[in-house]
Amino acid sequence: MGEKLDYKKLGLKVGLEIHQQLDTKHKLFCNCPADLVEAEHDSFIRRLRPTRSELGDVDIAALFEWRKGRAYEYQAPLLHSCLVEADEEPPHPLNREALLIALAFALSVEAWIPDEIHVMRKVVIDGSNTSGFQRTAVIGLGGHLWVSHDKKIPLETIVVEEDASRKMGERGKVISYRLDRLGIPLIEIATAPVISSPEEAREVAEAIGRQLRLMGRVKRGIGTIRQDLNVSIEGGAKTEIKGVQRLDLIPKVIENEVRRQLALLEVRDELARRGIDPGSLQEEPRDVTGVFRETKSKIIRKTLDRGGKVYALRLRGFKGLLGREVMPGRRFGTELADYARFWGGVGGIFHSDELPGYGISMGEVERVYELLGADKNSDAIVLVADKEENAIKALKAVRDRALEALKGVPEETRGAREDGTTFYMRPRPGSARMYPETDIPPIRVTEDMIREAEKMKPEPLPVKLEKLVETYGLARGLAEQAIRDLRFDLIERLIYRYGDKLPAKTIVSLFVVQLRGLRGEGVDVDSIPDEKLEKVISLIAEGRIAKEAFEKLVTAIAMNPQANVEDLVKDLGLGKMGVEEASSIIEKILRDNIDVLKAKGSKAFNIAMGLAMKELRGKIEGRTVARLVREKLEELLGANS
Amino acid sequence: MVAGYGAELSKLLESIGAEPGDRVRVLTIDGTTIEGVILPRYELGDSNVLVVKLRSGYNVGIHAGRIEKVEIVGRSAKRGPIGAPVSLLEKEPSPPSRVLVSILGTGGTIASRVDYETGAVKPSMSQEEVLLAVPEVLNYASIEVEEVFSVLSEEMKPWMWERIVDAVARKIESGVSGVVVAHGTDTMSYTAAALSFAFHRGLPVPVAFVGAQRSSDRPSSDAAFNLLSAVIVAAKAPFSEVVVVMHGETGDTYSLAHRGVRVRKMHTSRRDAFQSINALPLAKIYPDSGKIEILDNEYRRRKSQGLVVDNGFDDKVAYVKHYPGPIAEILETLIDKGFHGIVIEGTGFGHVSTDAIKAIRRAVEEGIPVVVASQTLFGRVNLNVYSTGRKMLEAGVIPVEDMIPETAYVKLSWVLARTRDLGEIRKLMTSNLAGEIGYRHHVRLYPRWYHGGKA
Ligand SMILES: [Zn+2]
């Protein structure tokens, strides 16, 4: 996937939704501690039923999961979940600490804060919430966030809500969740869909993360922040991409999605050129099991032995399109397969653009074409081998997806993978299914609350910039870089703590030059916890290591996440040597060379000094070496003469 | 006043002719514009705060004092005709022939629709809605739904028990295979006990009480699970007793059928709040498979006829708990007020303080039966162990073995509607009519509490 994309011309629009766990004592709606555990737990099984709206409809994906007989196993750690998480007790009042932190953020971006906060139930049907809904409340509307000292981005909503359970696994129809994460307070910040390039999206996500960290009241580490993206291009559709875990993945995910939408638009245009319309796709899946009685395909053989069937669907005019790449390593056929898997519960599909293959012979393919009355030169065929019922459902889903292809890009919720590609999760829910949480009365925002929140509110970046320049004497350019750094909150703290021993300029440079340089070289500096970086800076400030050792040490820290910093300093020999150790090294050198030194008489000191410095240069000051050599010489030569 | 709003907001909304459901743009004094749909003000909250539903579905409140201007941008949308509701099941089940279960509503809801536009939850007990909400019941029976009345559980009174008895009797006479009574959970066990006595002389088919601990508008509601279980009991249980059918444990695995005279709500909120006290439940029901597992083999068998109705409850029976306080004064007052009977939840074995014994003596002398059960719930009343107990017996109290106190109250109410003769009353109260008394408790008929360590 080569050529550079002109995002302006494509009309790229990206909106971000950032979910960040707040660092509170308790969860949002109960008194359980707000952190994760690996501990003993009870478990119980539940199901969730689709609820019906006033108009009589139900969420189609929810209905589908329910019909499949989907059940959820909830693991309930005794000390980190209670009856509230188990949906066995109504929620307690909204955690005031969490509310204040969220309000502080809203104030810091000058959002409009409601006079009364209404907790809502947002229907979520994947089982991650025991209640079947997520409790969520708008605490701010609008506002602007400083991305750098001279750029702001408009926000849409600021929401405080409960985190969902942790998915632990899936076995057949049962998905396992652990309740420790359920109810941890989250702040959700949604930008307006005004971001127009993948890089800008990363920049904005970083800015939001930085602003949250500046409050000092958010959780850190893997999984404590999650990014969702809304991506659309002109003529495409709004795709919701869930769960991007790393900032540096954001541009890649967006680029992949743009290319995917472009590829789907090309498929649409090609189908139009071929004269394919919805009427051309009015086909039913057909039983073609007979063709495969003697098949050499192991997969199909296994299905047939278990009493399964092979069904086939003709896609008129689709020849060659199923093999078209829509994302790195994913073809249009993959999109059809995603639907087949989701709606039919099957393992996958075979399609004519990859056949013969998988043990399916040319002869078998031709027989299927014949049976379906399909044209080998222009039609595609899709095969599914599974239980009859599933195979039919899967192929009907394939047909539905093919019909969507005539229109272009379907509205979907997709999940992000580690490699920056995405997969189909479910259709985008129509309008938000939200209604009031009647167990929690509306919360009046009082002046007291605002006053308390004001105390937590971080200063705007331009104010911080001036402070760095005026108070700490940083060059403006360096200060601008500092406030754009994701770890600006740490940098700021280190300047306060170590500024008297180490110039602010040095501290900032270590982060924005050295650390950034290491990241560029591929060192995973972003996974290093703040505490370890602070330790490194403190060692430099206390003169225990040279600042030149920073890069070597940080690299080692990144590569040995389990090791503690002091041990690494020792292992790498970066520490300045203690007098005692130096003294014993010197003694050994002198003893090893005692005869020479005796012979040299008055020149013994110069020779001894040369030998010692060869060994100890950079590890301890020369002055100390000289003193030790003099003392030892006296001791040894005196004793031997 | 407009839709529950205070004077200031009402005036403002009236001045522009805005009503709940209208889409408005609110300009605040700090220059923010908020667009959304006006919602009615519900009971809770400040009536000077305007509640608006944003396009995103969220509600926010704006105080009248912060509003600069409100303008209408769109009138309440006339919703298109309500389409045919989506069915939960792929194929509608065809009920077995000649099995008809009647579901009677008394309050409490099985089906709800949520209006995501306004946030309103509309509960319903109509036949159509119940079948839409829990279509699986059709696997076991044809269903007819009827609402007897609709009251909150805590509003239930003895005269309402009588109406429910009548309604159930009518259904049984019409030949149904079983009756399900949907009931609010708070007082469900009282009503179930009432029906147990009213039908104790002859009940050909099961009567299953059912309710929900989680409201039916939520995906996690236990309403459907419980209703399905209750319908399975009504349609095909081998026993013909009055039972309460509710979740057996916190998970959605099985439910339990408890005898109406033995069951008690033991938790404010848990799904498995209903448990049998001093007795084993009658059966386990697995609603996913339709299986019924009998736990207590001594039950009255289902038959084709033999309904005997003994309806009627006395509505002037007192139910008091002994406590370290002026209990004697309370008893005296009850006697003065002309109560027909008194049930006392005594301490431990059933005791009351010595000063109260005097009042008891007076009651009995005036022909008012005084029945004693224990506030420990578990175990049996025994007034022979200590002298206080013996004095109580002397005064003429009627101890009722291991009967749970609420059942003792319902039973006395039923007995008093039949006889006011103290001797007769004593005989009826101490006879086991509907399984309310048990004479043998094995060691497991007592919950094992959690004491730390491995659960
Ligand atoms: Zn909890």
List CB contacts (< 8 A) between A88 and chain B.
250, 269-271
The rounded Å distance from CA A175 to ligand 1 centre is 21
Query: Quick count: other Cβ atoms within 10 Å of Cβ B292?
Result: 20
What confidence score (pLDDT) does residue A65 get?
A: 83
Burial annotation A619-639 (CB, 10 A radius, 16+ → b, else e)? bbeeeebeebbeebbeebbee
Q: Which residues of chain B have pLDDT under 50?
A: none
Q: Which of B53, B106, B171, B185 is catalytic?
A: B185
Q: Which residue has the tokens 């559980």?
A: B153
User: With an 8 Å Cβ cutoff, is A115 touching chain B?
Assistant: yes
Cα radius of gyration (chain A): 32
List CB contacts (< 8 A) between B28 and chain A.
112
Contact B313, B163 (CB under 8 A): no
What value does the mean pLDDT take over residues A297-316? 94
Which A residues, 120 through 159, put their C-beta within 8 Å of a C-beta on chain B? 120-123, 125, 130-133, 136-138, 141-142, 157, 159
If you classify domain A284-405 with CATH, what class do you get? Answer: alpha beta
**In this structure, what is the dihedral angle of CA atoms A275, A280, A285, A290, given to the nearest 10 degrees?**
-70
List CB contacts (< 8 A) between A141 and chain B.
32, 34, 54, 60
Task: Return the CATH fold of B317-429.
Answer: Rossmann fold (3.40.50)
The rounded Å distance from CA A20 to ligand 1 centre is 19
Q: Distance between CA A203 and CA B104 in Å, rounded? A: 61
Which A residues, 13 through 52, put their C-beta within 8 Å of a C-beta on chain B? 40, 42, 44-52
- List, by residue range, all CATH 2.30.30.520 domains of chain B: 7-74
φ, ψ of residue B39 to 5 degrees: the values are -110, 155
* Closest among A129, A78, A171, A130 to B252, alpha carbons compared: A130
What confidence score (pLDDT) does residue A122 get?
A: 92
- List, by residue range, all CATH 3.40.50.40 domains of chain B: 317-429
Q: Distance between CA B238 and CA B258 in Å, rounded? A: 14
Of chain A, the percentage scoring pLDDT greater than 70 comes to 98
Q: Distance between CA B372 and CA B195 in Å, rounded? A: 22
* Closest among B247, B241, B243, B258 to B286, alpha carbons compared: B247
Annotation says B30 is catalytic:
no
Provide the residue type at A319 as one letter. K
The rounded Å distance from CA A30 to ligand 1 centre is 5
Strands (E), B164-254: 178-182, 207-210, 242-247
List CB contacts (< 8 A) between A433 and chain B.
57, 114, 116
Which of A47, A56, A159 has its CB closest to that of B252?
A: A47
Alpha helix ranges (H) inside B366-435? 387-395, 405-416, 422-430
Annotation says B252 is catalytic:
no
Is the model's pLDDT at A432 over the cut of 70? no
Q: Distance between CA A264 and CA A251 in Å, rounded? A: 20
Provide the residue type at A437 as one letter. E
Q: Do A115 and B63 touch (CB under 8 A)?
A: yes
Q: Distance between CA A528 and CA A568 in Å, rounded? A: 14
The rounded Å distance from CA A90 to ligand 1 centre is 11
* Phi-psi sector, A172: left (phi>0), alpha (psi -120 to 50), beta: left
Query: Quick count: other Cβ atoms within 10 Å of Cβ A120?
Result: 24
- List, by residue range, all CATH 3.40.50.1170 domains of chain B: 100-294
Strand partners, A315: A380
Q: Do A431 and B57 touch (CB under 8 A)?
A: yes
Q: How many residues does chain A have?
A: 641
Annotation says B185 is catalytic:
yes
Question: Which CATH number applies to B100-294: 3.40.50.1170, 3.30.70.1400, 3.30.70.120, 3.30.70.20?
Answer: 3.40.50.1170
Contact A304, A385 (CB under 8 A): yes
Kindly state the tokens that stand for B169: 């009797």
What confidence score (pLDDT) does residue A640 get?
A: 47
What confidence score (pLDDT) does residue A427 get?
A: 82
Contact A145, A164 (CB under 8 A): no
Kindly state the tokens that stand for A247: 């900032």
Query: Quick count: other Cβ atoms within 10 Å of Cβ A3?
Result: 6
Longest dimension (CA), chain B: 81
For chain A, domain boundaries:
7-271+432-436, 284-405, 459-572, 579-639
Sheet holding A52-53, edge to edge: A52-53, B111-114, B121-124
CA-based nearest residue in chain B for residue A129: B220
Contact A32, A76 (CB under 8 A): no
Q: Distance between CA B263 and CA B276 in Å, rounded? A: 4
Q: Tens digits of per-residue pLDDT, A579-627?
A: 788 888 898 888 888 888 888 877 888 888 888 888 876 577 677 888 9
* Closest among B252, B432, B195, B320 to A74, alpha carbons compared: B252
If you classify domain B7-74 with CATH, what class do you get? Answer: mainly beta
Kindly state the tokens that stand for A165: 């359970």
Mutation site for B-interface testing, chosen from A29, A42, A45, A49 by largest number of B Cβ within 10 Å:
A49
Which of A46, A136, A159 has its CB closest to that of B252?
A: A46
Q: Do A133 and B269 touch (CB under 8 A)?
A: no
Q: Which residue has the tokens 């970066």?
A: A574
Burial annotation A170-192 (CB, 10 A radius, 16+ → b, else e)? eeeeebbbbbbbbbbbbbbbbbe
Q: Tens digits of per-residue pLDDT, A238-258?
A: 999 999 988 889 999 999 999
Q: Tens digits of per-residue pLDDT, B304-334?
A: 899 999 999 999 999 999 999 999 999 999 9
Annotation says B106 is catalytic:
no
Q: Distance between CA B193 and CA B205 in Å, rounded? A: 16
The rounded Å distance from CA A33 to ligand 1 centre is 8
Strand partners, A286: A312
> Which DSSP letter does residue A458 get?
P
- List the helix and strand counts (H, then E) for chain A: 22, 24
CA-based nearest residue in chain B for residue A125: B219
Contact B342, B322 (CB under 8 A): no
Q: Distance between CA A427 and CA A400 in Å, rounded? A: 12
Longest dimension (CA), chain A: 112
**What is the bridge-based pairing of β-strands B398-399 and B370-374?**
parallel
Q: Do B220 and A87 touch (CB under 8 A)?
A: yes
Q: How many residues does chain B have?
A: 455
Q: Which residue has the tokens 């508008």?
A: B217
How far away is chain B from the Cα of A383, in angstroms, using its nearest Cα?
A: 24
φ, ψ of residue B364 to 5 degrees: the values are -60, -40
Kindly state the tokens that stand for B145: 């739904």
- For chains A and B, count residue pairs whose Cβ atoms are closer than 8 Å: 181
Question: If pLDDT is split at 50, 70 and 90, which confidence band does A544 have?
Answer: confident
Kindly list the protein residues that place their beta carbon closer than 5 angstroms to ligand 1, a single-atom ion: A 30, 32, 82, 84-85
The rounded Å distance from CA A180 to ligand 1 centre is 8
Residue B316 CB partners (closer than 8 Å, separation 6+): B338, B339, B340, B341
Question: If pLDDT is split at 50, 70 and 90, which confidence band does A641 have?
Answer: very low
Distance of CA B76 to the CA centre of its chain: 38
Q: How far is CA A150 from CA A142, A203, A403, in A?
A: 19, 13, 47
pTM for this prediction: 0.88
* Closest among A150, A246, A151 to A191, alpha carbons compared: A151
H-helix or E-strand spanning residue A100: helix A96-108
Through-space distance between the first and last CA atoms of chain A, rounded to whole angstroms: 82
Kindly state the tokens that stand for A614: 């060869």
Q: Tens digits of per-residue pLDDT, A311-365?
A: 999 999 999 999 999 999 899 999 999 999 988 889 999 999 998 889 999 999 9
What confidence score (pLDDT) does residue B292 get?
A: 98
* Closest among A136, A131, A30 to A79, alpha carbons compared: A30
Classify A437 as helix, strand or coil: coil
Q: Distance between CA A80 and CA B164 in Å, rounded? A: 45
* Closest among B410, B429, B416 to B158, alpha carbons compared: B410
Q: Do B121 and A115 touch (CB under 8 A)?
A: no
Classify A113 as helix, strand or coil: coil
Sheet holding B291-294, edge to edge: B142-147, B100-105, B178-182, B207-210, B242-247, B255-259, B283-286, B291-294
What confidence score (pLDDT) does residue A398 get?
A: 96
Mutation site for B-interface testing, chosen from A45, A84, A107, A115 by largest number of B Cβ within 10 Å:
A115
Which of B54, B115, B271 has its CB closest to that of A54?
A: B115
